Chain A
């Protein structure tokens, strides 16, 4: 997609999102879209790591946690301005990604996946055990909402605008990045690391940069989560979420930026859709046990019939 075309598309989606709250008043629908945007930001970061640096990270939830907790702790306990806290949260995640990435990107393939998994586990246990700072397993409440020039981002509609604006901007910038020289290096790495290195590209540095960028995007989403829900505890930031992100990326189609958004959207909509659909199919209401069975089977079916992910349909590679 050419850069101009891409930005036009983004603008179109942005306009659609902007007028949406005028048509839809249900906080439920708006809120589902907010969570889709947050998931999509995280998935976008991971799709860069997976699709363009060719590495699977099983520890992305850790950066989501860093974003949420740095924001939450600085605002709720130290009275920081939320925007400042958000900037600090992103910076902390990027620094952490570099500090962790420097050693562990010496590993590759499965060992790297295991190391990132371990990193996620370590961060999770810090959240659980460092109770004096993080609030421990019972969490941290009273996180203030974001405010711009007197406008409080406390309603679903305003959070919808903010999260989608950030998501679309991130999509556009990541698209530009991929079209750039760095992007070509990234794709070359995915093709053949040795050949890329032979061309004089510092493969390790490029990978690390992508990892740090992904961490920053994920932390941004985490910070938005904290200011939206106003309460954080460790359980949304565990191994299960890291796996969910991998599912979103593969479901949407690895190496496709829109795929990450699509994967995030489908995952949220599938869960919510089943919640509405199963009782309608005359299964007893509240029978959530059946929802997760159907969810698992649908996930399998989608991958069996669209092994390249949802966006592969268009590319004709399905």
Chain B
């Protein structure tokens, strides 16, 4: 196996994993962009998406129907979370809201443990068939689905934010809630919309990645963490940034595992990420990695 083939494989694997992180990161961006809240429960939405998808698919529902129901259920849950826990705390400090979402994530994880147990569940790939070859590297078909869905979601978000009234209203809230209110925008509706949308996105991510990662009740914490890092790298308010951040993280991890040390791959990825942040602060980066939070 030539080094070029190995490198190609690391890059392709990293892109697929990066797509996973990017999809999850987008959920953080939606909530933070509108509400300035870091939703620690975002990873649990991914977990629920994967588990609900697994259960519905096992019941014999077709994949499209199962997918639609999964996303819908998550959106309702996200809206409930906003109404019951976030809405009463609109004026509380951001840290308080962070802890509320940590509480929500613990409760959701426990609930999933009760409902689904500890065994990982399998979800069939969206399109069956052997892996494909791409520039000497192997890529599973579901990996292409992940990348494609990340692309579609990104495009849909772009259209939503820039071409629809609701989208501009959401953006207005992000820039200035007070100003938005003065312009007649119902800010609390926008909060609700953001949470529902983010939960739906998280569940979408979960449903799409489940055929690759399987579905378990405790998958949310680690995936949420990776998605959060992806989103922060992209400035936490920009969908394009989250995509770039996710791909950067995924490729870094894969290259670190392949070329440096598999035991230290997460550590190596963070060393590089922190280094990049510092370079940016020093003004030595030719591009903008992230906004200062």
Contact = CB atoms under 8 A, between A and B. Distances in A.
B111 interface: yes
B102 interface: yes
Contacts of B85: 300, 304
Nearest to B263: A129
Contact of B263 (A112, A115, A125, A239): A125
Contact of B274 (A56, A104, A299): A104
Q: Which of A113, A115, A307 has the most CB of B within 10 A?
A: A307
Interface string A235-277: 0000110010011001100100000000000000000000000
Interface residues of A, number: 47
Interface in A106-136: 106-115, 117-119, 121-122, 125-126, 128-129
B interface bracket (residues with beta carbon within 8 Å of A): 35 or more
Contacts of B271: 118, 122
A153 to B, nearest CB: 34
A289 B266 contact: no
Nearest to B111: A293
Contacts of A107: 277-278, 281, 292
B290 interface: yes
Contact of A296 (B88, B107, B274): B107
Contact of B96 (A113, A250, A291, A295): A250
A134 to B, nearest CB: 12
A246 B40 CA distance: 13
A251 B103 CA distance: 11
A300 B105 CA distance: 10
Nearest to A111: B277
Given A110-B293, A239-B225, A307 B114 contact: no
Contacts of A240: 221
Contacts of B140: none
Interface string B82-125: 00010011001101111110111111111101100000000000
17 contacts: A104-B274, A107-B281, A111-B290, A112-B293, A115-B277, A119-B274, A125-B266, A254-B95, A292-B109, A292-B113, A296-B104, A296-B109, A296-B110, A298-B103, A300-B103, A303-B96, A307-B92
